[in-house]
Amino acid sequence: MSATPHTQVHWEENTPSPCRKCKWQTPDPTDPLRGQCTVNRHAMGGVWKRWIRDVEHMTCSRHEEGELSFRDHV
Amino acid sequence: MTTCKDCEFFFSVPEDADDFEKSKGDCVTQKEDEKGKYWLTRPVFENNQCCSTFHKR
Amino acid sequence: MTGAQTLEYKGKVLQFTPENPAEADIPADELHEHLQNPSTERTRRLKACCRWKHASAGEFCEKGVTAGIERMRLLTESHWDTRGKPEPIRRALGLKNILEKCTLVLQPDEFIVGYHAEDPNMFPLYPELSYMAVQDYLKSKYSPQPAKEAQEIVDYWKPFSLQARCEPYFDPVDLRRGYQVSTIEGPVFASGYNSVIPPYETILEDGLLARIALAEKNIEHARAEMEKFPWNAPTGLEWIDKIDNWEAMVIACKAVIAWARRHARLCKIVAERFETDPKRKAELLEIADICHRVPAEPARGLKDAMQAKWFTFLICHAIERYASGYAQKEDSLLWPYYKASVIDKTFQPMEHKDVVELIEMERLKISEHGAGKSRAYREIFPGSNDLFILTLGGTNGDGSDACTDMTDAILEAAKRIRTTEPSIVFRYSKKNRAKTLRWVFECIRDGLGYPSIKNDDLGIQQLLEMAKYSRNGNGVTPEEAHYWVNVLCMSPGVAGRRKAQKTRSEGGSAIFPAKLLEITLSNGYDWSYADMQMGPETGHAKDFATFDQLWEAFRKQYQYAIALAIRCKDVSRVIEGRYLQMPFVSALDDGCMELGMDANVLSEQPNGWHNPITTIVAGNSLVAIKKLIYDEKKYTMEQLMDALKANWEGYEEMRRDFKNAPKWGNDDDAADALISRFYEEILGGEMMKNINYSGGPVKPVGQAVGLYMEVGSRTGPTPDGRFGGEAADDGGISPYSGTDRKGPTAVLRSVSKVQKNQKANLLNQRLSVPIMRSKHGFDIWHAYMDTWHDLNIDHVQFNVVSTEEMKAAQREPEKHQDLIVRVSGFSARFVDIPTYGQNTIIARNEQDFNAQDLEFLNAEL
């Protein structure tokens, strides 16, 4: 991936800002231990998801606590 | 102890019913939410302890 | 011409003013809010308080929807208590325990009664299927309560679940790839998603008491055979499994009769002890009588038939096991009861308008039906509950038109009540009567997005072709082949008393060519979503010296993925046959009853299929690569890979070149030749090398549902000019949205070029509101449909909705609750679709009909 590592999801053991609590995260379609990061949104409307291997121990610099409406997800 | 047998909402299952059991009854109650009222029924027994919707017969 | 009001055609000037002059006064951006017209005050009231269960992006759109615990609890209790018993009997006793002890629901105003959870705001869960799916619920705001008990239940079931039993037969690496839902849809055992075609005909014609008698007679015969002298073990021991299956059928049928009669008792109690309105009291007593008689006895009139059918649906689709769908040939199924009640008036006499009301009520029952599906399936049908699709029309076994006044009643009800579900498939034949075609058109014109149209002849032919692979030589006859329905949204399957598909392991699930192409370019590695190896190492694109090398590398990726996907289904099938028996469904199937087999195990009519979704992104990409890299050599593959990794940023001119390369759907010979070859040689040709459980080849059904959005969001930038995370193409064979620029007949010409090695292909088209609502609308549409039919095209479905109305709905969703759109394979309430998805529908080209199009269609106006 071309973006600098910290703006994309990365492993950080026992992070205080896990993806699970982030508003841009939505659960994995199959495995509840994993997730999907939706923070990468293109001006033209694309939502380029990234897989989150572990929603408890991954984070990134764009973490924001909260929840999005289903209207803002895919 | 007040039991289901004493409740207005308890209706004994008739003996010829396919699911008849001695002292079994239907507990028929009404619930309401913002979309409206609806009826629920579930099987109980005469000597079950009454619940919060108990209403003396 | 969508904005213009006139067109010169064959020496005439055609005016496109509204057929209903009153519509001229309705603002274009709120048309759909004026189209609803429920046939009675009752159905108007029922719709106003309908407890919708639409889901979107994994969430439920309405507040207060939540999972119930009752089914889980009662199934678990029984599973524990029945240790040591034969598995089919455990399953039957599980069903019995649920039906004996579950809470029943009765809502005011309703005539068709019955619900599948303990509260009309709830839906049941299925811990015996996928442990991951249920665990996901427990982590969500929809968790059943009490949460502690729910967790204990999930923990209990984990080792016994379908998922846990199937997983050991797979390499964990392959499983992880499947669970991504990026190159293939997740394995059925990991989601619990399922489909079934219940033998409604049997229950309506026979009643359950007759089925019990049959099973008991079979048991008696089996025991007598076993006790014969001399004992012959090879044949004698075969009776054991059969006896277990028949015993299970008896238990299940008796339990369903008792459960139906509990409803009768509820209605009687409410009528006699609580109801004060004399009209409603009388009606409740009538419902009580119906529920006492059916489904124990055969249906005698239309009210009987509707109630028996509804009870059967609840058991087959939600209580015995979860299954998506509403598969039935509803007009043919109900015709004898329409005749009895409306024409002959011998039982439950009524008028045609009363039938319309009944069907409206049925539609609202379906709209309230909550499905405890896994998260993946709460994502991929945005704005709807689940895939509830019934089939109408077509031809009878003798080749005559199958349309009747029952067909018309169902269509009229759909038009009047305006719900997204159930969706309707219409089997189009040139023999269909004009009166019914007019109703089909009016539903489409009103923007319902259904009926979706299937080619009747093609459906019949493919069933006959697959019959020759039957494992027991009992595939469909020519007459039976006429009685087909869509199993879910696209794939035909036989319906009726026997041979119908009973599990999704037979046919269903998807594969995603766009993502496969993406990883083909990177040696099988998914750099854009999962950051892991997703397929075999087939080389890096920069090393492919020829287009053929790229083609062959894709073939290998596809071969790996499709074999894995089909293997997942067949392994699941075997485990379903061992541990997930369906004794009630089996009791209704004449083959299962005759042979003493469970419905998962018996296979008489092969119907294997798999859905390629996102094909056109891949196809258009291959066309662009071939043209710009290998033919014209304007760019190198290395340059392309750099541009893709940068999401085209800094490569705007290059992106324009790739975006402007020839696209599917414009009757471009070069693009169409390559893409047709892609469909026929790779998607179909390679898939069909795989033989499924039933002994037949698996065939492609090009599809989309909402997966074009989900998989689009997990697919990086592609060589067709797409940005990373943009939606993919919205139908199995639909042009990529906005790229079909040569008009609607050019699309038909492109699509008609794909013929070989296909089972079905979904075509989405968006038609102009002013044209369709004008006095020429029906004639144009009819001419279009006849041309479509003669070009041997499998399918088409329509959106008839204006961009201005959709944009108004985005701004003020609360004012556009009745705006329905066709997503793909299903219809949805527009305001319940996420913005991302809404924009994909807005982007679809609104087809103009110019004079050349009308000439091609030979339209007589």
Spell out which residues of chain B touch residue C102, defining contact as CB-CB under 8 Å. 42
Work out how many CB contacts closer than 8 A connect A with C: 110
pLDDT in tens, C390-432: 999 999 999 999 999 999 999 999 999 999 999 999 999 999 9
Minimum-distance CB partner of A72 among C530, C709, C835? C835
Put simply, the answer to whether B38 touches C106 (Cβ < 8 Å) is yes
> Does C239 score more than 60 pLDDT?
yes
Put simply, the answer to whether B40 touches C108 (Cβ < 8 Å) is no
What is the spatial distance between Cα C420 and Cα C440, in angstroms, rounded to a whole number? Answer: 15
> Does C639 score more than 90 pLDDT?
yes
pLDDT in tens, C774-833: 999 999 999 999 999 999 999 999 999 999 999 999 999 999 999 999 999 999 999 999
Average pLDDT estimate for C517-532: 98
pLDDT at A62: 95
User: Chain B residue with minimal CA distance to C266?
Assistant: B41
Stated length of chain A: 74
Q: What is the nearest CA distance from C152 to chain B, expressed in angstroms? A: 23
pLDDT at C617: 98
Best mutation target, C53, C62, C71, C100, to test chain B (most B CBs within 10 A):
C100
What is the spatial distance between Cα B18 and Cα B8, in angstroms, rounded to a whole number? Answer: 23
What is the spatial distance between Cα C128 and Cα B1, in angstroms, rounded to a whole number? Answer: 38
pLDDT at B17: 96
pLDDT at C2: 41
Best mutation target, A24, A25, A71, to test chain C (most C CBs within 10 A):
A71
pLDDT in tens, C323-344: 999 999 999 999 999 999 999 9
C167 lies within 8 A of chain A by CB: no
pLDDT at C1: 34
pLDDT at A43: 82
Minimum-distance CB partner of A48 among C61, C139, C716? C716
Angle at C15 between CA C14 and CA C17, to 5 degrees: 155
What is the spatial distance between Cα C744 and Cα C296, in angstroms, rounded to a whole number? Answer: 51
* Architecture of the domain spanning A1-66: Irregular (4.10)
Minimum-distance CB partner of C104 among B31, B37, B41? B41
Name the band, by pLDDT with cuts 50, 70 and 90, for residue C48.
very high
**Packing angle of the helix pair C352-367, C41-48 (nearest 10 deg):** 10
Put simply, the answer to whether C266 touches B26 (Cβ < 8 Å) is yes
In chain C, % of residues over pLDDT 70: 100
User: Chain B residue with minimal CA distance to C114?
Assistant: B40
Spell out which residues of chain B touch residue C269, defining contact as CB-CB under 8 Å. 11, 26, 28, 41
User: Chain C residue with minimal CA distance to A33?
Assistant: C136
Put simply, the answer to whether C181 touches A30 (Cβ < 8 Å) is yes
Minimum-distance CB partner of B37 among C108, C119, C269? C108
Put simply, the answer to whether B43 touches C106 (Cβ < 8 Å) is no
User: Chain C residue with minimal CA distance to B39?
Assistant: C106
C531 lies within 8 A of chain A by CB: yes
Put simply, the answer to whether C119 touches B31 (Cβ < 8 Å) is yes
Best mutation target, C134, C711, C835, to test chain A (most A CBs within 10 A):
C835
Q: Output the CA torsion C630→C632→C638→C641 (10° steps).
A: -90
Minimum-distance CB partner of B36 among C49, C64, C118? C49
pLDDT at C107: 97
Spell out which residues of chain C touch residue B38, defining contact as CB-CB under 8 Å. 105-108, 120
Spell out which residues of chain B touch residue C69, defining contact as CB-CB under 8 Å. none
Spell out which residues of chain C touch residue B17, defining contact as CB-CB under 8 Å. 258, 261, 265
- Kindly tell me the burial class for residue C232, based on how many C-beta atoms sit within 10 Å of its own C-beta (0-12, 13-18, 19 or more): exposed
C716 lies within 8 A of chain A by CB: yes
Q: DSSP letter string over C489-513?
A: SS-EEE-SSSS----TTTS--EE-H
Put simply, the answer to whether A27 touches C132 (Cβ < 8 Å) is no
The pair of structure tokens assigned to C850 is 């110019």
Name the band, by pLDDT with cuts 50, 70 and 90, for residue C186.
very high
Give the count of beta carbons closer than 10 Å to the beta carbon of residue C146: 10
A28 lies within 8 A of chain C by CB: yes
> Does A3 score more than 60 pLDDT?
no
pLDDT at A2: 47
C662 lies within 8 A of chain B by CB: no
SS (H, E, C) C791-814: CCCCEEEEECCCHHHHHHHHHCHH
User: Chain B residue with minimal CA distance to C51?
Assistant: B35
Cα–chain center distance at C807? 28
> Does C4 score more than 70 pLDDT?
no
Domain ranges of chain A: 1-66
C104 lies within 8 A of chain B by CB: yes
Put simply, the answer to whether C105 touches B35 (Cβ < 8 Å) is no
> Does C130 score more than 90 pLDDT?
yes
Cis status, amide bond into C21, omega within 30 of 0: no
Spell out which residues of chain C touch residue A46, defining contact as CB-CB under 8 Å. 712-713, 723-727
Put simply, the answer to whether B41 touches C107 (Cβ < 8 Å) is no
In chain C, % of residues over pLDDT 90: 99
C274 lies within 8 A of chain B by CB: yes
pLDDT at A44: 76
Are chains C and A in contact at 3+ CB pairs closer than 8 Å?
yes
Put simply, the answer to whether B26 touches C265 (Cβ < 8 Å) is yes
Helix ranges restricted to H, C57-130: 70-81, 87-101
The neighbours of chain B, by the rule of 3 or more Cβ pairs under 8 Å, are: C
pLDDT in tens, C569-601: 999 999 999 999 999 999 999 999 999 999 999
Work out how many CB contacts closer than 8 A connect B with C: 67
C182, C527, C571, C759 from C565: Cα distances, Å: 12, 22, 10, 17
- Paired sense of beta strands C12-15 and C764-767, if any: unpaired
Q: Give the C window 629-668 contacts with A, CB below 8 Å.
A: 645-647
> Does C268 score more than 50 pLDDT?
yes
Put simply, the answer to whether C186 touches A30 (Cβ < 8 Å) is yes
Q: Give the C window 610-649 contacts with B, CB below 8 Å.
A: none
The neighbours of chain A, by the rule of 3 or more Cβ pairs under 8 Å, are: C
User: Chain A residue with minimal CA distance to C706?
Assistant: A74
Best mutation target, C130, C136, C141, C807, to test chain A (most A CBs within 10 A):
C136
A16 lies within 8 A of chain C by CB: no
Average pLDDT estimate for C259-275: 98
Task: Quote the mean pLDDT of chain A.
Answer: 90
Average pLDDT estimate for A15-28: 95
User: Chain B residue with minimal CA distance to C256?
Assistant: B18
> Does C367 score more than 50 pLDDT?
yes
ipTM: 0.98
pLDDT at A1: 47
pLDDT at C483: 98
pLDDT at A5: 57
Task: Quote the mean pLDDT of chain C.
Answer: 97
Contacts of C349 (CB under 8 A, 6+ apart): C301, C341, C342
The model carries a pTM of 0.97
Q: What is the nearest CA distance from C180 to chain A, expressed in angstroms? A: 7
Helix ranges restricted to H, C685-764: 685-687, 707-713, 744-751
Put simply, the answer to whether C49 touches B38 (Cβ < 8 Å) is no
